[in-house]
Amino acid sequence: MADDCSLWFIVKTIKNPQWFDALIKTLGPNAILINSDLQVCQVYGDVSHYVETSADTGSTDLSFVLKSTFKQDVEFAVQVAHRTNQKFVGVTRNNTINHSQKFKIVAYPLQIDPGGEMTTLIVFEEWTDEAAIVEQNDGSTAAIDALKAQVNALRAENDKLEINSQQLRETNQNLNGILDNITLPLIVVDRSLNITYSSSAAITLFQIGNEKALPHISSCLSPEGFPDLSDCVQMAVANQSVISHPVSNDKFHGSLQVVPHFSTSDEVISATIVLNDNTQDVLNARDELQLIFDNLPEAILAIDNTGKIVKSNAATDRFFGLSKGESEGKNKYDFFHESIRERIKKSDIDCLETGKPEIDKVEQIECVNQKEIWARVSRIPVLQPYQEDALLYIVINDITEEQKAIESLKQSERRLNVAMRVTSIGIWEREFEADEVFWSEGIRKLAGMEKDKTLFGFDEFKSHVHPDDWAKVELVRKNHIEKGDPYLVQYRFRNGDGDYVWVETSAQAEWDDQGSIVRFTGTISDITKRRADIVDLHALNSQLNLASDMSGVGYWDVNLAEGTLFWSEQMYKIHGLSPEEYSPEVKTAVGFYHPDDLPKVEMLIANAIKSCTDFSFQARLKNNHQGYRIINATGKPYRDESGRVTNIFGVFQDVTEVQLQQKQLKLTHDELTRSNEELSRFSYVCSHDMKEPVRMIEMMSSLLTNPNFDVGDVKRKELLERIGSNTIRLRAIIDNLLAFSRIDAKVEVGTVNLSEVLDDIQQTMLPHFQAQNASIEFAQLPKIWGAKIHFTQLFQNLIGNSLKFNDKDKPIVRVAAQKTTSGWLISVEDNGPGVPKDARSKVFELFSRLKRRDEVEGTGLGLSIVQKIVTQYNGEIKCEESALGGAKFEFSISDTRLMNG
Amino acid sequence: MANNYVEEIIFVDDSDDEAFVTELLLRKEKININIKHFTDYQRVIEHIDNSASNVPILAAFDLNMPVQKGTELISQLYQEYDSSKIIAGIFSGSEDPKDRKDAFEAGAKFFIQKPMDTQFFITLMATLPQFELESDPSGWSKLLIKC
């Protein structure tokens, strides 16, 4: 206890030198007082055994004053006492005098004044050998001998230990040499935590001081960012394990490691404190991080609790619309729109105060630079090691596009859901060959299944399909997989009420990169109503087609928006085409119109579209087999809700035959009209011209037969003669009328040689020619297809007229023919009186006469008969003045094989 | 107003039979009027021009004649003379209303059916009131014209 309290005691007594001397005598008496610089301050008692007396250099340095044999041990004792502030007891020996002579050295740390310099009092005492004491006290020789033998053995052992000790010392010196050269901060402490070794780097770092005596570990000053060394060592010793503590400041980054050393009995005898320097690595890592920080697309900024931007990357500058480096030092909140400033500020402060990071919070942000965005914001509060205030790291990730996509997706999903609900379309999905099928709400509703369950067994699905339709469904699926045919099938599906409804499934398989099917996704829609409508439509369509076929009416439809054209079956027939030969399209369909009709048709349809009114036209349309056909078209433009014309519907009717019939009918009608008129005229003139001689005969007879009236003999004879001439005239009229009516009768037709006809007439009329001294001239005349009787009558009448009305001495009749493009032009002319110009058309009328009957006998039917024959052969006749001076009758005869009647 | 006898009637017809029969008919009906038969219009003109009659000349034209119809001739006639000189009309076998209409349009003063017998004159008197048939005790009749 006295030893433990010695320091206190010394401190108290040092103020009184007498007491100090008395203390030295008590402790010593042979002692040396050494200051902290290891200079000898005072010597007490007899220390001649220990100090170098032979070479007095006048130096007070302990290493010079002490004998070399004690030097190391004394210096060690001084350092320990000095460092631990506790008494240190050690042993030393004087090798040069006698190797058995040992000395005890006790080092007392002394502080002369409180807060003053630390000194050490070294007290030397002679070492008393225990064995020698035993030898002196026991008188038994045997025992003494035995003891001596033991002593010698011990000595021998001691010598060995000496040698080992020497070796250890040398090793120790080598170690010290190594340790002195290392730059690593390293401290070794003993079990009392006195520093027994400290590398120069450690001395500098922990400001251990340069005094010879190494201090206790608690006197080390830990730099900023370092833990208390004493605490660390004590923890390692207490735990008997290695502890490692990260250390960091602005100059140094690494770790502090305390390694306890154990004795053979597992007691802690010392500990080593080592500092691992990772500063360079940390700096390198910091540079790399800085590079990443600067180049990250996300805006990363650190703010203090006022919102001041302490640190920011380039992305932050861009985000706020600033030039590089401009954001640092500014207040973050100034960049946000007033309306959201407080909200953001509150979020930041909350995070800083709670110290809890806030990760990936999605916020809508509006900046003062008019930038409105969706952002994912992370807030990470960080307590800076050397700063009192925490910083808030903020990462802003612009996810506007992503958010838009999400919104769009949500919108799409919403629309899809609505669409599915509205259209009663359900979606299903089945992993390939999986046992379960996903059914959307639509299908579940249709099948009357549980509302919340979405997965159903495949057998469940199969049980809903009508057994007769299952093979069809499977076939469609198989063909889709194997041939890539569309997965589209209609079948009967049992609904929740147990009734079968018609549904349509449309699906698509998904293949992976290896070409294997992954899943099927498809829809099921209830088409019962649609199917019923289609059945009705089919029926209507069949009726329409039947009506169309029967009436020969084709219909078409132009979709203006899509530019497509539809043709009904009959349309193909009208064009003489088949659906295999031609696919209707507007561009090519207009090419079927006759080029002369197309502009009219295009104009009509364009006007109809413009005014949205009905249209109709007649045009010629090319038929693939029959040339141009005539069609009647009617049509109508159709408008959508907005009033825009979307379709033109039209109907074609092939009226070619009808037109031909109408044309024929018109011809017949005209002919009938003409015939009727002729008949009417015929009957009229008959009634007049035939009535005339009859009336005459009747009157004359009446005069002759009247009993009260005597006409006299002369007149009676004249009356009888006149009755006779009227009777002859009546007969001539009847003969001519018969001839006239016979023209229409069926007669034998063939090739008629007109020259032969003329020859015959010449023969027949020879007496007339001779009587009038007349002549007839005709060259070679053509052969014509027709009835000989007609041409005989024709020429007889014309030549007869030429002779009958001729007043010349030598009447001449000339007949000629000339070829025309369509047939022949034949003329009969004479040198008679001719026909007055104004009477030339009238001469062909029935019973028309230019001469009085008393001048020239005639019925007035001759030229009417001629005209009728010419007309019969599609020709025309006219009366002109002849070069011979008389009349010239010229008529055309068509050179085609016209059938009589 | 004086009553004058119509001595003759100009009879224009292409039929000689008609003229011959008419003469016999008038004799049989005891109508004392001469038939002046013409077949040529030119001769008619000449006759009119040479006439010294102080009363209008009565002329009857046949409708259907070979060269020119009676209506055409009446139309020509009234281009040269007025109705105070000549009273011309049609006598015809036609009963066609159109012929009648055409005739009056051409200027004809009457349109009476053939033959020219007592009925002809009765119709003439009905059409033209200035004419009157006057009979004498011997049974012969004369045509009077008031002017």
Yes or no, beta carbons of A696 and B17 under 8 Å apart: yes
Strands annotated E in A211-279: 243-248, 253-262, 268-277
A850 min Cα distance to partner chain B (Å): 5
Residue A641 DSSP one-character state: T
Q: What Å distances lie between residue A35 and A52, A109, A213, A841, CA to CA?
A: 19, 10, 10, 176
**Chain B CB within 8 Å of residue A717 CB:** no
> Is the model's pLDDT at A466 over the cut of 80?
yes
**Section A305-316 average pLDDT:** 88
**Section A833-839 average pLDDT:** 84
C-alpha A567/C-alpha A557 separation (Å) is 7
The total of other beta-carbon atoms located within 10 Å of residue A262's CB is 11
> Is the model's pLDDT at A690 over the cut of 60?
yes
**Chain B CB within 8 Å of residue A700 CB:** yes
Residue A618's pLDDT is 93
Q: What length does chain B have?
A: 147
Q: Which of A51-65, A548-562, A830-844, B33-47 shows the lowest per-residue confidence on average (mean pLDDT)? A: A51-65
A759 min Cα distance to partner chain B (Å): 33
Question: pLDDT category, A855, cuts 50, 70, 90?
Answer: low
> Is the model's pLDDT at A2 over the cut of 50?
no
Residue B29's pLDDT is 92
Chain B residues touching A846 at Cβ < 8 A: none
C-alpha A68/C-alpha A56 separation (Å) is 14
**Chain B CB within 8 Å of residue A415 CB:** no
Residue % of chain A over a pLDDT of 90: 18
**Section A395-402 average pLDDT:** 87
Residue A4's pLDDT is 41
Question: pLDDT category, A35, cuts 50, 70, 90?
Answer: confident
Q: What Å distances lie between residue A3 and A89, A91, A109, A194, A208, CA to CA?
A: 11, 17, 11, 18, 27
C-alpha A356/C-alpha A383 separation (Å) is 12
**For A703-721, how does the pLDDT look when each residue is reduced to its tens digit (9 = 90+)?**
999 998 898 899 999 999 9
**For A634-670, how does the pLDDT look when each residue is reduced to its tens digit (9 = 90+)?**
999 998 888 888 899 999 998 888 888 888 888 888 8
How many Cβ pairs within 8 Å bridge chains A and B? 52
**For A97-121, how does the pLDDT look when each residue is reduced to its tens digit (9 = 90+)?**
555 567 788 888 877 666 667 788 8
The total of other beta-carbon atoms located within 10 Å of residue A678's CB is 14
Please report which helix (H) or strand (E) contains residue A398, including its range.
strand A390-398
**Chain A CB within 8 Å of residue B136 CB:** no
Residue of A571, A548, A682 whose CA lies nearest to A623: A571
Show the DSSP H helices in A192-337 as ranges.
200-206, 229-239, 279-295, 314-319
* B85, B56 contact by CB (below 8 A): yes
C-alpha A209/C-alpha A213 separation (Å) is 9
Q: Is the pTM of this model over 0.90?
A: no
A771 min Cα distance to partner chain B (Å): 26
Yes or no, beta carbons of A703 and B67 under 8 Å apart: no
- Annotate A11-30 with three-state secondary structure: HHHCCCHHHHHHHHHHHCCC
Residue A888's pLDDT is 93
Chain B residues touching A842 at Cβ < 8 A: none
**Chain B CB within 8 Å of residue A715 CB:** yes
One-letter amino acid for residue A688 of the chain: H
Report the mean per-residue pLDDT for chain A.
Answer: 82
A785 sits in the region (left: phi over 0; alpha: psi -120 to 50; else beta) called beta
**Section A398-424 average pLDDT:** 83
- Annotate A765-792 with three-state secondary structure: CHHHHHHHCCEEEECCCCEEEECHHHHH
- Annotate A99-119 with three-state secondary structure: CCCEEEEEEEEEECCCCCCEE
**For A182-227, how does the pLDDT look when each residue is reduced to its tens digit (9 = 90+)?**
677 888 888 778 888 787 778 888 877 655 556 788 888 888 888 8
Sign of the alpha-carbon torsion through A57, A60, A64, A66 = positive
Residue A864's pLDDT is 83
**For B67-114, how does the pLDDT look when each residue is reduced to its tens digit (9 = 90+)?**
788 999 999 999 999 888 899 999 988 778 888 999 999 999 999 998
Yes or no, beta carbons of A849 and B24 under 8 Å apart: no
Which of A692, A839, A849 has the CB atom closest to B93's CB atom? A692
Interior angle at CA A856, CA A853 and CA A858, nearest 5? 70
Q: Which position has the higher pLDDT, A30 or A588? A: A588
**For B6-19, how does the pLDDT look when each residue is reduced to its tens digit (9 = 90+)?**
999 999 998 889 99
C-alpha A543/C-alpha A535 separation (Å) is 12
* A827, A795 contact by CB (below 8 A): no
ipTM > 0.90 for the complex: yes
**Section A413-438 average pLDDT:** 82
Structure tokens at B106: 């051409």
Q: At residue A88, what are phi and psi to the nearest 5 degrees?
A: -125, 130
Q: Which position has the higher pLDDT, A817 or A425? A: A817
Residue A214's pLDDT is 64
Yes or no, beta carbons of B93 and A853 under 8 Å apart: no
Residue B131's pLDDT is 92
Question: pLDDT category, A88, cuts 50, 70, 90?
Answer: confident
User: Which of helix, strand or coil describes residue A878?
Assistant: strand
C-alpha A222/C-alpha A214 separation (Å) is 16
Residue A620's pLDDT is 93
**Section A304-309 average pLDDT:** 88
**Chain B CB within 8 Å of residue A684 CB:** yes
Show the DSSP H helices in A323-375 as ranges.
338-354
Residue A212's pLDDT is 53
Question: pLDDT category, A859, cuts 50, 70, 90?
Answer: low
Residue A302 forms beta bridges with which residues?
Answer: A311, A393
Which of B27, B67, B114 has the CB atom closest to A850's CB atom? B67
Question: pLDDT category, A39, cuts 50, 70, 90?
Answer: confident
Residue A370's pLDDT is 67
Residue A355's pLDDT is 83
Residue A12's pLDDT is 46
Residue A210's pLDDT is 57
**Chain A CB within 8 Å of residue B46 CB:** no
**For A765-791, how does the pLDDT look when each residue is reduced to its tens digit (9 = 90+)?**
888 888 889 999 888 888 888 888 889
**Section A61-75 average pLDDT:** 78
Question: pLDDT category, A607, cuts 50, 70, 90?
Answer: very high
